[in-house]
Structure 1
Amino acid sequence: MLDPSLPCRTPKLVDWESLLVITALVMASKGLELSGLFSKLAPRLIRAANHSERRLMLLFILVISLSSAVIMNDTAMLVFIPLVVATSKLARVNTARAVTLSVIAANVGSALTPIGNPQNIIIWHAYGLGFLDFTYSMLPFVSLWLLILFAFTLTIKNRELSIESFPPVALRKTLLVVSLISLIVDIVLAEIGMALIAFIITLIAFLLLGREVLRGFDWVLILTFALIFIDFNELAFLLNNAGLMFPAGGIKLFVVSAILSQIFSNVPATVLLLANKPEWLPLSLGVNIGGNGVVFGSLANLIALRISRIRVRDFHHHSIPYFLVALLLSALLLFLF
């Protein structure tokens, strides 16, 4: 029974602000896809990789991981996954592998900075950490995770890619401009807490200048997001008052947070574990590496799978081995620290 002296809490079922932002971003991403931008860029990327499949994947990993440290991994997936899919189909490479490695790159890159993903933002604010202090502490582990990802990429057979049969694609400039402006506006307004305004502006923009985006909108994806954005503060509150205690630090906290991320997804796991204010670094490391592995580990994973339409088992074929290797080596590095 709860202590009657505790303050009353008004339950909030869903984090509506996050849901509105991600919905607006999905609209902008769909507009970029329908504009023909990704089909235009695909052959150029293949040429930039010197027609090498291995170099193409390394190029994707570098660009996506660096971008995710700044624009957040969820946003990076909305921007880059349509490009990865278009390029993979054009080059006739394994789309499931390309998408999975790209998602891992986004999860890994976003772990570096306190603004790279939602769980980092939560931890950053909760502990009052400095931007550079957070980044400096995460750097050795993120570097390790990238090295592991590069090692996985080097196992790809380095065959030569051809784009001779690629048909010409017309670029729809009006839709491209509207989508790019909407994307920028959504990110800026989300940063200052104006999610509803971002959603309304984006919706009106496509109603006026890009109705095909709304006609092809993926509402099932939004329903999936609603499940992810359920507010876990209430569960943390109840568990804390029931006397359930999680590890306070070290390797135990790292492993528990990584495993809980496989069950709840890494953002709810962060909120759940923060109730007892444990050591921030093992917590951050666990929930970030926990974003890999099973598909529910991170919202970025769900976004990528829904956009790319690859099978879950194909995703797990690459993501789970990476998660297990990274978890083991990270625990060793944390022990040495």
Structure 2
Amino acid sequence: MTDIFPRIRKWLTAEWLLVILIGLLPVMLWAVPAPLPDLIALVDWKTVAALAGLMVLSRGLEISGLIDRLGRMMIAKLRSTRGLAFALVLFAALLSAVVTNDVALFVTVPLTLGLARVANLPVARLVIFQALAVNAGSALSPVGNPQNLFLWQRSGAGFVEFTLAMLPMAGAMLIIVLALIPLGFGRARLVLHDTTGAVPLQRGLMMLSLAAYPMFLLAVNAGHALIGAGAVLAVFALLFRNLLRGVDWPLLLVFVLMFVNLGLLGQVPTLAALTAAAMDGADAAYAVGALLSQVMSNVPAAIFLAPFAEDWRALAWGVNVGGFGLAIGSLANLIALRLGGQKGIWWQFHLWSLPVFGASLGAGALLLALLG
């Protein structure tokens, strides 16, 4: 019995965001009463299903030993911690523009954790810079993140037209992140501290994870995320049941509660009236998009503000810049920090992300003034 309270305290500390979201739910229901079917409808279940499948597949790649092998190969090619940081940031940014920011993190963060097993690395800082990198890189593409996908469909712009419209802002954001790498990482030489303790390669698990990854992404892109996630869970439950125990399942509940709480927040009449008054011109759409993302995350902010915005490009720039700053500004931040699992990573993230937010916000305002 005496062990229960320390365990509860440890769980509350580890799952503080989940606890806050649970506590906010009755407050939001008091402000915006809604029946259970309406609450269920607020959740983007395709996104939740996609996250579930990706968490299982990335876990499979990690414990199969493949990530460890890739990490050793990367260290053999690079000479310094700073060089590794540049490589991971660029890889994460480019990958996020193609396969979305969350998928990029499910690849690069486990890779970083694998690298840390064979060399002394500033893991928390590397993960933080990858979170910043995917926020910048994913801003370029219509399919790079959920807010871009939503605004792309709503704008009626073509794929190339949308990409070209986002290029100046995405480029500026990535340059800012890259410019900070020399401040965050030294020139210390990368040295393997474990040349014999490689994680054993589980070929069956590796082949299954590698084969299932693109198939699952195709299913998600085709609108069959729920079916794809169900298939992934069924196969892994049958063949590698123990793997499922190591998946961060509470993270899914965090996302469900975020959708519900933020969806209810967007239905408050006063907020809608204030937003309509604030969204006056491209500069206003940009600023409100960036700032509101700090309160309700950039995906809900984009959905909430879109009906009031006349300039979709300005709003898209704003909500993508809003992915920096506070961790809640982007769901990708939460994924990265949770996957990283390093002590003190949450407050360290803000030491880097808040300055990037300020610099990006200023850069975007200047670009809007120059480009019109």
Same fold judged by TM-score > 0.5? yes
From 145, 153, 172, the counterpart of 2:181: 153
Residues 256, 186 of structure 1: alpha-carbon distance in 2 compared, 3 angstrom cutoff: same
For the pair 1:199 / 2:221, whether they are aligned, the reply is no
For the pair 1:186 / 2:220, whether they are aligned, the reply is no
Gaps of at least 5 residues in structure 1 are 1-9
Say whether the 8 Å CA contact 2:237–2:244 is kept in structure 1. Answer: yes
Distance in 1, matches of 2:233 and 2:194, equals 37
Instruction: Tell me the equivalent position of 2:28.
Output: none
Distance in 2, matches of 1:20 and 1:204, equals 13
From 73, 77, 81, the counterpart of 1:44: 73
Residues 232, 295 of structure 1: alpha-carbon distance in 2 compared, 3 angstrom cutoff: closer
Instruction: Tell me the equivalent position of 1:69.
Output: 97
Say whether the 8 Å CA contact 1:18–1:229 is kept in structure 2. Answer: no
- Give the superposition deviation at 1:255: 1.5
Deviations along 1:168-190, one digit per CA (max 9) or x if unpaired, are 22111111121122222221111
- Give the superposition deviation at 1:154: 2.1
Distance in 2, matches of 1:242 and 1:43, equals 52
Say whether the 8 Å CA contact 2:285–2:309 is kept in structure 1. Answer: no
How large is the Cα RMSD of the aligned pairs? 1.9
The 3-state SS of whatever aligns with 1:90 is coil
Deviations along 1:113-137, one digit per CA (max 9) or x if unpaired, are 1010000000000111110011111
The sequence identity of aligned pairs, in percent, is: 38
Distance in 1, matches of 2:151 and 2:164, equals 15
- Give the superposition deviation at 1:43: 1.6
For the pair 1:32 / 2:69, whether they are aligned, the reply is no
Distance in 2, matches of 1:242 and 1:285, equals 21
For the pair 1:15 / 2:47, whether they are aligned, the reply is no
For the pair 1:218 / 2:252, whether they are aligned, the reply is no
Deviations along 1:164-212, one digit per CA (max 9) or x if unpaired, are 4332221111111211222222211111111221111101110122112
Residues 216, 242 of structure 1: alpha-carbon distance in 2 compared, 3 angstrom cutoff: closer
Instruction: Tell me the equivalent position of 2:347.
Output: 313
Instruction: Tell me the equivalent position of 1:6.
Output: none
Distance in 2, matches of 1:295 and 1:207, equals 33
Superposition pairs of residues 105-124 of structure 1, within 5 angstroms? 105-124=133-152
Instruction: Tell me the equivalent position of 2:284.
Output: 252
Distance in 2, matches of 1:152 and 1:178, equals 38
Residues 262, 76 of structure 1: alpha-carbon distance in 2 compared, 3 angstrom cutoff: same
- Give the superposition deviation at 1:242: 5.6
The 3-state SS of whatever aligns with 1:243 is helix
Higher alpha-carbon deviation: 271-280 or 228-237 = 228-237
Instruction: Tell me the equivalent position of 1:278.
Output: 310
Residues 273, 214 of structure 1: alpha-carbon distance in 2 compared, 3 angstrom cutoff: same
- Give the superposition deviation at 1:89: 4.8
How many corresponding residue pairs? 327
- Give the superposition deviation at 1:265: 0.7
Residue 73 of structure 1 aligns with an amino acid whose one-letter code is N
Deviations along 1:135-166, one digit per CA (max 9) or x if unpaired, are 11111121111111111012222111101433
Say whether the 8 Å CA contact 1:65–1:106 is kept in structure 2. Answer: yes
Instruction: Tell me the equivalent position of 2:299.
Output: 267
Distance in 2, matches of 1:269 and 1:17, equals 19
Relative to the length of structure 2, the TM-score reads 0.83
